[in-house]
């Protein structure tokens, strides 16, 4: 196996025997095979559309689900992955037949021509690994695109569950899949494809923002309880707001409470979700602490997206975890959506009724809900604080948290920030500093949490607004610096999106991605001033002054 897609990759270069995340070599091989099928489907879909022909509607759901499935910690279930491979082969055949009927010629690349014989799954999976691309810079640009597409697929899927679709985004995904499949794509074409991925990254985050706010209202300043109640509870994790809404509706009046975990915390900020009285709080912290926190939660847990940590064989909770959407783990029940998109959580609820209430591990409240609309509502106060010098700088500390010790850097950085600097956060990175009581500046909290990692979009919207208010020529002239923590591929699409908006001098850490080759890094440094992190004191001087 070879996988280097996340920040925790072995030795900072690539996992070759087993994933640090727990992914086995077999799972890695089946994911490579699934990705090859997706590239084939994207290629044929793009050829049809480029020739002005209709493609098949199933392409949208397949591409997004398959890419999402291969995100770090999303799906460890080989059977589920292989079912998706088989479904993909059927879809690819239908597309190829359609191309034949319409007289559209197709490239004879292996991803297109492979017939999908089950006996060849293993050899094909091995052949389609990342190292099939020999040139390190070509590989790097192709992977940057693919990893960005994975993040895009995840956000698209959540938006689509709430009824938002965009043929422009899907067409782009197919075009990009075509470009990375083409063995003759030039470096220039590939670099442009990476940049275009960032542009569509902005579009997909805007689409999800529209979907979330249209259905659930604009996030508003909210205090979230981090303690527990007396009723048994269900813990729901991940990013899919439609799932938590379904669960809240189905648990209403049952005597079961609902708690959010990790990236689901921002559900509390939405008016149409916080109205449910039995949405009692957020339990625990970022994804990587789940082994301890699921144990003491005592009730069932639902994963709506990635960030599964494989449980130890003796884990007390291993029989009370459910997955849905692209997430999966062998032996855990998977809740499928019905044809109308409806999900039936009755089994989860029945299990909850037999469980004890959660054990309290924390007590108190945290504050959040500062997505763009709430920040705009406070705009006068914010602008005044900047003009008077009460706020000297904003530092965007969005992204992911993780288990590496080196990430303590972010907690220390937050603590050492001068008192006139405000942290703008989103994503699970916030769990390093959202309980530190960093105080406020003239009533504006020093940690403003916009929401999930996709809500980094809010910080782009806010930056553009500030640019307008202050009459700045360039977004980079504002008193905003970016010190972003990354872990998996949603952070990749967020980063590419920021680059496409013209944001320069972004620092990413705790380490630079293994999938960025030396040559590509040079281009990113020259054109965007992208950089890593050093020590807290050094970076404080560089970024804050």
Site for ligand FSO, rule CB under 6 A: 262-263, 287, 306-307, 400, 427-428, 452-453, 487-488, 490-491
Distances, alpha carbon 239 to alpha carbons 200, 489, 492, in Å: 19, 14, 16
Residue 307's binding partner, choosing from ligand FSO, ligand SF4, none, with beta-carbon cut-off 5 to 8 A by kind? ligand FSO
- Pick between residue 172 and residue 486 the one whose CB is nearest to ligand FSO: 486
Residue 4 interacts with, from ligand SF4, ligand FSO, none (CB under 5-8 Å by kind): ligand SF4
Pick what 8 binds: ligand FSO, ligand SF4, none; C-beta below 5 to 8 Å, kind-dependent: ligand SF4
| Rounded distance between C-alpha atoms, residue 471 and residue 302, angstroms | 46
Considering only CA atoms, which of 511, 493, 470, 13 is closest in space to residue 205? 493
CA 319/CA 324 separation, integer angstroms? 15
Q: Which of these ranges, 1-9, 350-358, 379-387, 493-501, lies near ligand SF4 under the rule CB under 6 A?
A: 1-9
CA 485 remoteness from chain centre: 13
Residue 147 engages ligand SF4 in binding (rule: CB under 6 A) = no
User: What gap in Å lies between CA 269 and CA 444, rounded to an integer?
Assistant: 17
* Residue at shortest CB range from ligand SF4: 19
CB 238, min distance to ligand FSO, A:
7
Quick one: what does residue 490 bind among ligand SF4, ligand FSO, none, with the CB cut-off 5 to 8 Å set by partner type? ligand FSO
User: Of 14-22, 75-83, 373-381, 449-457, which part binds ligand SF4 (CB under 6 A)?
Assistant: 14-22
DSSP of 231-247: S-EEEEESS-HHHHHHH
Q: Give yes or no for residue 492 binding ligand SF4 (CB under 6 A).
A: no
Interacting partner of 433 out of ligand SF4, ligand FSO, none (Cβ under 5 to 8 A depending on kind): none
Compute the distance between CA of residue 212 and CA of residue 406 in angstroms, rounded to an integer: 34
Which residues, listed in sequence order, are joined to residue 335 by a DSSP beta bridge?
Answer: 324
For ligand SF4, give the closer residue by CB, 19 or 299. Answer: 19
* 309/357 with CB nearer ligand SF4: 309
H-run or E-run covering 424: strand 421-425
Q: Which of 55, 72, 251, 323 binds ligand SF4 (CB under 6 A)?
A: 72
Is 171 or 263 the residue whose CB approaches ligand FSO more closely? Answer: 263
247 is a site residue for ligand SF4 (CB under 6 A): no
- Sort strands 222-225 and 321-324 into parallel, antiparallel or unpaired: unpaired
Own/partner pairs, 353-356, CB within 8 angstroms, 24+ separation: 353/232, 353/254, 353/255, 353/256, 354/232, 355/232, 355/233, 355/298, 355/299, 355/300, 355/320, 356/232, 356/298, 356/299
Tokens 């397949």, residue?
Answer: 62
- Say whether 104 sits in a helix, a strand or coil: coil
The enclosing H or E element of 53 equals: none
What 3-state class would DSSP assign to 449?
Answer: strand
Report if residue 8 touches ligand SF4, rule: CB under 6 A. yes
Q: Count other C-beta atoms under 10 Å from residue 163's C-beta.
A: 11
Q: Which of 157, 5, 4, 3 is nearest to 491 (CA)?
A: 5
CB–CB of 432/538 below 8 Å? no
Nearer to ligand FSO, 428 or 506 (CB): 428
Q: Which does residue 235 touch among ligand FSO, ligand SF4, none (CB within 5 to 8 A, set by kind)?
A: none
Q: Which two tokens stand for residue 297?
A: 């939660």
Minimum CB–partner distance for residue 149 and ligand FSO (Å): 15
Q: What is the dihedral of CA 124, 129, 131, 133, to 10 degrees?
A: 70
Picked from ligand FSO, ligand SF4, none, the partner binding residue 82 (CB below 5 to 8 A depending on kind) is none
In what side-by-side order are the strands of the sheet with 480-485? 447-449, 421-425, 393-396, 480-485, 507-509
Among 4, 288, 370, 394, binds ligand SF4 (CB under 6 A): 4
- Minimum distance between the CB of residue 515 and ligand SF4, rounded to whole angstroms? 9
Min separation Cβ 69 and ligand SF4, Å: 13
Span from 6-14, 79-87, 116-124, 496-504 in contact with ligand SF4 (CB under 6 A): 6-14
- The option from ligand SF4, ligand FSO, none interacting with 9 (CB < 5 to 8 A, set by class) reads ligand SF4
Element (H, E) at 32: helix 25-50
Residue 262 contacts which entry, ligand SF4, ligand FSO, none (Cβ below 5-8 A, type-dependent): ligand FSO
* CA max distance for the chain: 70
Q: Which is nearer to ligand FSO, 3 or 256 (CB)?
A: 3
Q: Contact between 160 and ligand SF4 (CB under 6 A)?
A: no
3 near ligand SF4, judged by CB under 6 A: yes
| By CB under 6 A, residue 25 contacts ligand SF4 | no
Judged by CB under 6 A, which of 11, 12, 17, 19 binds ligand SF4? Answer: 19
Question: Shortest gap between Cβ of 178 and ligand FSO (angstroms)?
Answer: 26
Q: How far is the CB of 48 from ligand FSO (least distance, A)?
A: 32
Question: 178 is in the binding site of which of ligand FSO, ligand SF4, none (Cβ under 5 to 8 A by kind)?
Answer: none
Which option in ligand FSO, ligand SF4, none does residue 487 bind, with CB closer than 5 to 8 A by kind? ligand FSO
Q: Angle at the Cα of 336 (from 335 to 339), degrees rounded to 5?
A: 150
Residues near ligand SF4 (CB under 6 A): 3-6, 8-9, 15, 19-21, 23, 72
């Amino acid at each position: 196996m070879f996988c280097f897609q996340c920040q925790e990759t072995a030795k900072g270069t690539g996992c070759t025997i087993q994933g640090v995340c727990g992914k086995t070599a077999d799972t890695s091989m089946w994911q490579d095979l699934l990705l090859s099928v997706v590239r084939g489907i994207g290629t044929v879909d793009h050829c049809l559309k480029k020739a002005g022909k209709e493609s098949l509607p199933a392409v949208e759901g397949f591409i997004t689900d398959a890419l999402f499935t291969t995100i770090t910690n999303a799906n460890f279930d080989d059977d589920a992955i292989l079912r998706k491979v088989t479904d993909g082969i059927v879809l690819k055949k239908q597309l190829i037949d359609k191309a034949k009927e319409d007289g559209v010629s197709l490239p004879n690349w292996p991803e297109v021509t492979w017939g999908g014989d089950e006996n060849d799954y293993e050899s094909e999976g091995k052949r389609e690994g990342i190292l099939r691309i020999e040139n390190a810079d070509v590989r790097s640009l192709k992977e940057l695109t693919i990893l960005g597409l994975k993040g895009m697929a995840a956000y698209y899927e959540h938006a689509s569950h709430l009824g938002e679709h965009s043929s422009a985004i899907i067409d782009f995904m197919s075009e990009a899949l075509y470009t990375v499949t083409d063995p003759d794509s030039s470096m220039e074409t590939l670099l442009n494809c990476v940049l275009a991925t960032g542009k569509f990254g902005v579009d997909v985050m805007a689409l999800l923002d529209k979907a979330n706010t249209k259905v659930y209202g604009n996030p508003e300043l909210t205090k979230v309880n981090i303690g527990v109640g007396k009723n048994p509870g269900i813990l729901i994790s991940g990013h899919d707001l439609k799932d938590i809404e379904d669960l809240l509706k189905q648990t209403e009046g049952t005597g079961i409470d609902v708690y959010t975990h990790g990236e689901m915390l921002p559900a509390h900020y939405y008016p149409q979700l916080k109205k449910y009285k039995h949405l009692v709080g957020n339990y625990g912290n970022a994804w990587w602490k789940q082994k301890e926190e699921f144990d003491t939660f005592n009730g069932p847990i639902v994963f709506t997206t990635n960030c599964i940590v494989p449980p130890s064989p003796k884990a007390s909770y291993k029989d009370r975890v459910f997955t849905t959407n692209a997430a999966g783990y062998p032996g855990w029940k998977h809740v499928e959506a019905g044809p109308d998109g409806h999900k039936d959580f009755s089994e989860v609820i029945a299990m909850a009724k037999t469980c004890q209430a959660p054990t309290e591990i924390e007590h108190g409240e945290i504050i959040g809900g500062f997505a763009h609309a709430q920040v705009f509502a406070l705009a006068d106060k914010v602008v005044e604080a900047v003009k008077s010098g009460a706020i000297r700088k904003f530092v965007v500390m969005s992204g992911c948290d993780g288990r590496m010790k080196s990430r303590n850097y972010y907690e220390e950085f937050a603590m050492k920030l001068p008192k006139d600097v405000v942290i703008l956060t989103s994503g699970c990175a916030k769990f390093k500093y959202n309980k530190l009581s960093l105080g406020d500046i003239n009533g504006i909290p020093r940690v403003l949490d916009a929401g999930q990692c996709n809500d980094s979009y809010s910080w782009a919207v806010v930056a553009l607004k500030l640019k307008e208010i202050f009459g700045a020529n360039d977004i980079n002239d504002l008193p905003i610096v970016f010190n972003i923590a990354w872990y998996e591929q949603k952070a990749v699409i967020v980063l590419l999106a920021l680059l496409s908006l013209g944001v320069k001098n972004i620092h990413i850490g705790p380490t630079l991605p293994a999938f960025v080759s030396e040559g590509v890094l040079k281009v990113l440094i020259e054109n965007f001033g992208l950089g890593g992190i050093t020590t807290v004191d050094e970076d404080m001087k560089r970024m804050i002054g």
